[in-house]
Amino acid sequence: MKWRKIRKSILVAAIITLIILGVILGCYFVRLLKTNDVKSAGSVTQTTADKELYAFLLSLDKTMGEVLEIDLSNYRKIDTLDGFTTSEYDDLRLLDIKMQIPSEYGDSILSIYLNNDNTKGVAPKQGIAPTKEFNGVYNMYLFERDLDKDSKFAWKITENKSVEGEFKAINETVREHFMNNRTAENKSQ
């Protein structure tokens, strides 16, 4: 009889503990969902930082287009940033473009612009110049649909225009970070 009471007490204590843990975990997950941005195909929530980054990249793209004499108004920007992408362009295989363009430390996020009939485009990207002075390199990759059925890519890079210019950063902290952390090779040239 005594053992039954002890087992019953242990069982009741275990059930109460599980209920309390369930309530605590439930509250934690509700709080987590409320504090984090939820990004899904149906509804995109963008943080202020996302919007600032997007505005900065638009401004940088415009600067590079002007310097390299490529009128970006002839193209439409295809949003490839997480949180801005839509499934509308999945069939275009835009990742093929990104795979063909080298990326190095300090490069800006690659932007992609397409013409209205999705046959040609441009992809501006800023890098860090391999010089002692801290400058940027503006690159504009021109590409078009690859009609070669044997090609592993849906797009082919047809030209790369490049010119040295001012390194632009979203804020001074980011600029100083890249200026102070360039490769030793760049600092010595």
Give the model confidence (pLDDT) of 70-126 as tens digits: 999 999 998 776 666 666 677 888 888 989 999 888 899 899 999 999 999 999 999
pLDDT digits (tens, 9 = 90+) for 40-84: 333 345 678 778 888 999 999 999 999 999 999 999 998 776 666
E strand or H helix at 187: helix 184-188
Residues 21 and 71 in one domain: no
Residues 64 and 104 in one domain: yes
In a domain, 135, yes or no: yes
Residues 102 and 21 in one domain: no
- Which range marks the domain in which residue 11 is found? 1-36
Residues 55 and 24 in one domain: no
In a domain, 43, yes or no: no
For the chain, the domain total comes to 2
In a domain, 105, yes or no: yes
In a domain, 42, yes or no: no
Residues 30 and 56 in one domain: no
Residues 81 and 22 in one domain: no
Residues 88 and 109 in one domain: yes
What Cα–Cα distance (Å) separates residue 126 from each residue in 59, 64, 65, 88, 174? 12, 8, 11, 27, 14
Instruction: Return the pLDDT at 127.
Output: 92
Instruction: Return the pLDDT at 188.
Output: 53
Q: What is the pTM of this model?
A: 0.69
Supply angle C-alpha 61, 114, 143, rounded to 5.
90
If we measure between CA atoms, which residue out of 155, 120, 126, 144 comes closest to residue 58? 126
Instruction: Return the pLDDT at 143.
Output: 97
Give the pair of three-digit tokens for residue 184.
């030793």
* Mean model confidence pLDDT for the chain: 81
